[in-house]
Amino acid sequence: MLLKTFDPLKGKQLRIMDENGEIVDEKNMPELTDDQVVEAYKYMLYARQVDLKAVAYQRMGRLFTLPPNLGQEAAAFGSAYALDKKKDWMVPAFREMAAWLYWGATAKDLYLYWAGSEDGNVTPDDVNFMPSAVPVASQVPHAAGLGYSIKYKGTDQVVITYFGDGGTSEGDFHEGMNFAGVFKLPVIFFCNNNQYAISVPRRMQSAAKNLADKAIGYGMPGIQVDGNDFFAVYAATKEAAEYARDGNGPVMIEAETYRRGYHTTSDDPTKYRTAEEEAEWEKKDPLIRMKKYLEKKGLWDDDKENDYVKHAKKDISAQFKEVEEYPRTSLEQIFKYMYEEMPDILKKQKVEMEKYLAGKEGR
């Protein structure tokens, strides 16, 4: 059992596939068909295209500030793929594009959100996921709350919530983890340790050797995985989901990965890290190693890749066109969704804003 064998306190990290696409831990290789592995790669490749396009659109002034995902696709997708998207809950932060896409959001939804429309946050009826949470770790207690409701109702769902290395320093992280631990709630706390909380490096974030160590204090198992290894992420999350679904309580997973891009498009990483470091991590990129693995197995090649990327880009451009043709965000959206019924204070603010805008146009 992975959760027992890979004790973070003993410095153990689960890695199944290395940087060259070689399987280095055959014993723990998850049971996936070739088709599933190809499907997984396609999802990640698609997510990467959506992400790269998003940054390009932002740089043209066609989208607002957004957080690039480059390099974190395996952590987001591998964990999502291990769950049952027809019944489980996903509670995201804001850098899990691949998980969103798998769960049922479209590129259009994601773009709409970063173009300033709340409509991008609308969840399809048959799936369970929460909207993007930009405030750091505010979603962690929400996930614990969802876990509590699942336990109360006695369904066999699990919740996965994402946060970053920086999120582990927040009070919300403690409260959510502690609550889930005390009540043995079916929640997977998934930490995308991408080495930087904006410009704060991991070593400045916590004195703990590994972030997964924190699980111990809340009485739950913790495991650290190579977050750029799809198989390791998938295997660990799969086991965590089974553990939680069986009523054993929460699990914390730390996926060690690297944010290859900007924190957001308003950030300049050259100010706080070196080109050498970025080059080192580029070698560990999750898609590069997955492609090598697939090529060795004869499941993928450059032609397939080029065809797929071309197809993906066309599809994404078409969706973006819909976003650009989408009606302008209404003022109401800003006030509408926090409460079922708008409280007086928000009504007042809305009226003030309307007056302001009317005055602006009248001039």
**Residue type at 58 in one-letter notation:** Q
21 binds another protein (CB under 8 A): no
Q: Are 294 and 288 in contact (CB under 8 A)?
A: no
Which of 288, 326, 336, 346 is close enough to bind another protein by CB under 8 A? 326
- Give catalytic status of residue 259 as yes or no: yes
**For residues 123 and 265, which CB has a smaller minimum distance to another protein in the complex?**
265
DSSP 116-166: T-GGGGPPPTTSEEPPP--STTTHHHHHHHHHHHHHHHT----EEEEEETG
Shortest approach of another protein to residue 50 CB, angstroms? Answer: 13
Query: Scanning residues 104 to 143, which ones bind another protein (CB under 8 A)?
Result: 115-116
316 binds another protein (CB under 8 A): no
CA 226 and chain centroid, separation: 15
Shortest approach of another protein to residue 345 CB, angstroms? Answer: 16
**For residues 163 and 262, which CB has a smaller minimum distance to another protein in the complex?**
262
Which of 1, 60, 275, 345 is close enough to bind another protein by CB under 8 A? 60
- Beta-carbon count within 10 A of 12 CB: 15
Q: Are 91 and 163 in contact (CB under 8 A)?
A: no
- Give catalytic status of residue 174 as yes or no: no
- Given the residues 81, 259, 289, 293, select the one marked as catalytic: 259
262 binds another protein (CB under 8 A): yes
- Give catalytic status of residue 202 as yes or no: no
d(CA 170, CA 200): 14
DSSP 266-316: T--GGGTS-HHHHHHHHHT-HHHHHHHHHHHTTS--HHHHHHHHHHHHHHH
Q: Which residues form the catalytic set?
A: 259, 263, 272
Residues interacting with another protein, by CB under 8 A?
53, 56, 58-65, 115-116, 262, 265-268, 270, 323-324, 326, 328, 356, 360, 363
